[in-house]
Amino acid sequence: MTKEKAQARREHLQQMRAEQKRKQRRAALLMWGTGGLIIVVLIGVVGFYLIDQARKTSLDAVANYKYESGQHVWTAVTYKETPPVGGEHNNYWQQCAIYDKPIHPEHAVHSLEHGAVWITYRPDLPKAQVDKLKEVATSTGDQEYMLVSPFPNLPAPVVASSWGHQLKLNDPADPKLGAFIKRYQNGPDTPEPGATCGGERAVTTTADQAPLPPEPTGQQPMDSASPSPSQSQQ
């Protein structure tokens, strides 16, 4: 009888151990299965985020143009694009800054030649959107090469331009605007990358404050020491 009890006890212990092992295997499978599922979900979430961000910041809608640089003129220019993205331009460039009134495109195009991004917006754009536009402009890219101004008769509420490139936008909060600035400000197609958008030859006035400067009389060549129209009138 004692042997039978001992045998029964051994069998019972074996069953308990076997059951314990089965539980451990189930727990391990559950843990690894859950962990694997979490990893798959995380990969899916990250992948979706990256794809969504790529879609939101895609610059496939950018229009591209080819213009020769260095075409300095003293007269008003009729441009093909609105606003212009290259071509003939005034000898003076526009000081890179944020303006609340339209500027002469002939000066702005010269700034584009130096690597600036020119963000233009419709004059009737709601103030909240203008404020958002200025926020993006002052928090993205190099402020020394950022030009912002209203522009009449734009084909879209907001248009971002660099030399030879242009993007039309409906919303200043569109992530594509920041992506455009990062790619094209002083970008590879800039004719004079790193040339200043400030200095003594930079125009600081808006179109209503001063006309295009007349051609200087005499044979004295223009150089960086020449005063800008806005300075010579002060």
Residue 70 DSSP one-character state: -
Write the CB contacts of 134 (distance below 8 Å, at least 6 apart in sequence): 98, 148
Looking at the DSSP bridge assignments, the partners of residue 88 are: none
- What pLDDT is stored for residue 19 in this prediction? 78
Burial 23-58 (b: 16+ CB within 10 A, else e): eeeeeeeeeeeeeeeeeeeeeeeeeeeeeeeeeebe
Q: What does the domain layout of the chain look like in residue ranges? A: 1-56, 63-215+222-232
Q: CB–CB of 93/110 below 8 Å?
A: yes
- What pLDDT is stored for residue 77 in this prediction? 98
Question: By C-alpha distance, which of 203, 224, 221, 216 is closest to 97?
Answer: 203
Taking 50 as the pLDDT cut, the residues of the chain under it are: 219-221, 223-234
Q: What are phi and psi of 37, to 5 degrees?
A: -65, -40
- What pLDDT is stored for residue 18 in this prediction? 75
Three-state DSSP class for 26? helix
- What pLDDT is stored for residue 218 in this prediction? 64
* Strand ranges inside the chain, DSSP E: 63-64, 72-73, 89-90, 93-94, 117-121, 146-150, 158-162, 165-169, 202-203
- What pLDDT is stored for residue 84 in this prediction? 98
Q: CB–CB of 119/177 below 8 Å?
A: yes
- What pLDDT is stored for residue 9 in this prediction? 74
